[in-house]
Structure 1
Amino acid sequence: MAQKSIVYCGKNIDISYEIVNPSAKIDFVVLHGWGSNKNLMKQFFSSYMKGFRHIYIDLPGFGNSTACCAMQTKDVADIVRIFLQEIAASSDIVLGHSFGGKVALLLEPKLLVLVASAGIYVPKSFTIKTKIAAFKLLKLFGLSKFRSLFVADDAKELSEDMYTTFKNVVNEDFTQEFASFSGKALLFWGREDSATPLSSAQKIHSLIKNSELYVYDGDHYFFMKNAQDIATKIEKTFLTLGE
């Protein structure tokens, strides 16, 4: 594991990362989802694509990386872009799981790999809407200390900056960003995913003209059992780009 200190908006941020196959010439950048870290992604993908330089990153505020302020997804992408420049890496292939998919998209790689990516707004259920309304009412009466009873599991135990970041990014609609992407994209999805449903994959597939969609049995973490097949498809696709 290594760390690189970068400056963003006048503040220092430490980015924790790990490189596999350091002498390889083609960069394969891997970005985890919300609440996760680089170790999860490395565990399942590092054994494959040995001809590529794997770069596993803890996104700011997660794992061993620090955060300097509340962020939007664009800020996270800008931080990762600066980091990649600092370590002389390129965006040849960028894989993003869930929240990491939105970050990957904004990096505009040669090959975009979306694994159960977030970015398509899904209307909240009645239960969630009720929880939000109840929390706002408690806050009005100065009882916001009960926040943990109402926030999503992904937001519990977060610092104030990261909780604000969570609220900023959770409802972002990246429809236009997906439609504007002009490169090649591979979409990998779990058929039973309830966090980013298959309908989101189908919409992204329709928005990105040069994209392919592969659906597997499993939920939001279907890639744990299918990493080898996903890696094979990524490698084959990248090596035939431009033919």
Structure 2
Amino acid sequence: MKKTMYNKEMIRLLNMNIYCEYLLHNKPPIIFIHGFVSSVYTFRRIIPFLSKHFSIIAIDLPGFGRSVKSTSFIYSYENYGKLIAACIEHFQLDKVFLVGHSMGGQIALYTTKLVPDKIDKLVLLSSSGYLDKAKRWKRYCSYLPFCEIAVNYVLKKRSVPDNLKNVFYDQSLITKDLIEEFGRPLKEKNFNKSMMRLLRYREGDLTSEQLKSIDKPALLIWGREDKVVPFYIGMKLEDDLPDAKLIAYEKTGHLITEEKAEAVSKDIGTFFKRSNE
């Protein structure tokens, strides 16, 4: 690996400025991939546990967090997968572990299909699955002048606290810091344009047939009370992926890295460590 110190900085991937946090110390590397309208902040509570035994790389995907809100990038899962592949190349990594939350889980799967030789194992945290691409009329509407206004309306229709209530089982864990962090990107220039382009270009999730070709060991971690990606999606993914194991936490919602940080960290660490025994 090229770098040996902890950093929070912009790196260039696919000719874009991508925000990256990394700690590389000659230990097996984990790349963290966040979900929709999220950022590396998603993993803030589990990274300290895992950094003791693994090198850590977490990026904000284009359109989210502190990364560029590009108005030219084609926001598809395949291109996000290519971005993760470029990140692997940037840091000169081999035998990478992927951890993807929600939409990030689907991107982890796409990445594994693109560069299977670079991926060792993957963990899918409440991963999206079996969603079709946006309906044709919505994609056509994304080219119309009023679409950006409509996207802005939809994103702001529910307040950030209301959105957080939807992803937490334990409402008492919602803090002012969480509200501020998840609300900040919504105010950034070109955020609406990037979300409009994601609506336009995002292809559907991988099909059952495509999933059956991904033979990497996979750990699926779910909250039983997940309202965003219901538990049955995890059960279906476990059936379709050739080498997958599903575990569930009781009284836990979609944002399991916040609600069950210690348990998630322990389960991920145990799963990945077995590769080095």
| TM value normalised by structure 1 | 0.80
Does residue 18 of structure 1 match 2:21?
Answer: yes
* Contact kept? 2:81, 2:110, Cα under 8 Å: yes
Measured after TM superposition, the shift of residue 118 of structure 1 is: 0.8
* Contact kept? 1:32, 1:58, Cα under 8 Å: yes
CA distance, structure 1, for counterparts of residue 194 and residue 152 of structure 2: 19
Secondary structure of the corresponding residue to residue 275 of structure 2: coil
Measured after TM superposition, the shift of residue 152 of structure 1 is: 5.4
CA distance, structure 1, for counterparts of residue 88 and residue 133 of structure 2: 35
Seen in structure 2, the aligned counterparts of structure 1 residues 51 and 168 have a Cα distance that, compared at 3 Å, is same
The alignment yields a C-alpha RMSD, in angstroms, of 3.0
Match of 1:70 in 2: 74
Seen in structure 2, the aligned counterparts of structure 1 residues 91 and 73 have a Cα distance that, compared at 3 Å, is farther
Measured after TM superposition, the shift of residue 149 of structure 1 is: 7.6
* Contact kept? 2:63, 2:194, Cα under 8 Å: no
Q: List gaps (5 residues or longer) in structure 2.
A: 1-7, 113-118, 157-162, 164-185
Measured after TM superposition, the shift of residue 143 of structure 1 is: 6.2
- Map of 1:1-243 to 2, 5 A cutoff? 1-6=8-13, 8=14, 12-20=15-23, 22-41=24-43, 43-49=44-50, 50-66=52-68, 67=70, 68-108=72-112, 109-121=119-131, 147-148=150-151, 151=154, 158-169=191-202, 172-175=204-207, 176-216=209-249, 217-241=251-275
Identity between Structure 1 and Structure 2 (%) = 24
* Contact kept? 2:151, 2:192, Cα under 8 Å: no
Partner deviation per Cα, 1:212-233 (whole Å, 9 max, x = no partner) = 1111121111231222222222
* Contact kept? 1:91, 1:107, Cα under 8 Å: no
Moved more, 205-214 or 105-114: 105-114
Measured after TM superposition, the shift of residue 25 of structure 1 is: 2.1
* Contact kept? 1:15, 1:83, Cα under 8 Å: no
Partner deviation per Cα, 1:100-156 (whole Å, 9 max, x = no partner) = 1011112222111000101222899xxxx9xx89xx7xx7xx8657514864569x7
* Contact kept? 2:35, 2:103, Cα under 8 Å: yes
Bigger RCO (CA 8 Å, 6+ sep): 2
| TM value normalised by structure 2 | 0.71
Q: How many residues align?
A: 225
